[in-house]
Amino acid sequence: MSVTHQQVMEPIVCGHPAAARLLPSFDVARLLEDLDRLDDHQWALQQTFTSAGLAERAPYDWRALPLRSPTGRPERTDPGGAGLDEFADTPWLAQAPYFAEILASIPAPLRCVRLLALGPGAVGEVHFDTKVGFPWGNLRLHVPITTNPGAALIIEGVEHRWQPGTFWFGDFGRWHQVLNTGQDKRIHMIVDTLITPETLSLFPPDFLDTLSADEVLYARPAVPLEDPERYHCAFEIPASFADWEEAEGQFLLPQPKLAATIESDADGNRLVLTLDGEPTFGLVHVGEGEFRFTGWTEERTLQVVPGGAAPAVVLRTRRGTAERRLEIPATRRIPSAA
């Protein structure tokens, strides 16, 4: 279903700085109190999540305790992505009132939240995170809790040593690396969010002066569906559209197709996109018959256009305000609201 890693997009560097200290700061003593409540629990190696699902665990001492995860499962140490599962609080968050207070103060819809501990001697590989940043509607924010002089984050060759109690944005869609040459763990709370206009209130004015409005993809709130059956349909979809890591515009190129249907789930509570007979993505309605994938942003959406005798599905991908689209005929009539 997914394209190979070699076909995945290269980093796209925007005009804004690679990092910015955000305006709030936090009480270090209270951060450490919450950490003490959780630190005795079993932290597992961080796991990656790709368009093919859960993948490898970190090959070095890079451990996670999730505060929010897909379905709220406490064993999920990955950041999640497009799929069937919504994000929810894990049981660990209920034991950390100050962490919960910080998260509630962030003016953005939250996705994954994890405590990540980089062990002494750990050196990560140089990499970039696929489609993380303003253009794809997905920010990754850091609250440092513990550190030491040997712990560093390197973004595009520049070393950053963020101190406990501060709050940071990093553009992790650029080449970066983590390392810890010190004797103690470095622990950050890492918060993945969608973006709303209110989210920008976290950023200092000098950063916002460098941020082009065309670079930002805002999230629309979910809109209830009055008649889900109206959007039931069947069609063929380019295989790469199911891969949220695909290279920009790849779904427009000639390629194999997948048999797709949009139907209500077994409980009738939501719509699900099924590909080659397998339920693959939950669909979140953002208005006018347009849906984003559950667990993902509006970087890619599909819109059902009932159209009487000629129903259609419109596929869209976005990077900031730029949009690519492909209209596909549906292969059966969508039931009318009547």
Chunked into runs of 10 residues, the chain (338 residues) has average pLDDT values of: 43 89 97 94 82 77 93 92 95 97 98 96 92 96 97 96 98 95 96 98 97 97 91 95 94 97 87 96 96 98 85 96 96 54
Q: What pLDDT does residue 317 have?
A: 98
CA neighbours closer than 13 Å in the CB half-sphere of residue 34: 25
Residue 229 burial (CB < 10 Å; 0-12/13-18/19+)?
A: middle
Quick one: residue 278, left, alpha or beta (phi over 0 = left, psi -120 to 50 = alpha)?
A: beta
Tell me how far apart the alpha carbons of residues 220 and 303 are, in angstroms, rounded to a whole number. Answer: 14
The pLDDT value recorded for residue 118 is: 95
Per-residue model confidence (pLDDT) at position 9: 64
Name the residue among 272, 143, 287, 133 with its Cα closest to residue 212.
Answer: 133
Q: pLDDT tens across 52-83, in order?
A: 777 778 877 889 999 999 999 999 999 999 99
Say what the pLDDT of residue 311 is. 85
pLDDT for res 5: 34
The reported pLDDT for the residue numbered 4 is 34
Residue 294's pLDDT is: 97
pLDDT of residue 3: 32
Q: What is the pTM of this model?
A: 0.92
Which residues have C-beta within 8 Å of that of residue 39, sequence separation ≥ 6? Answer: none
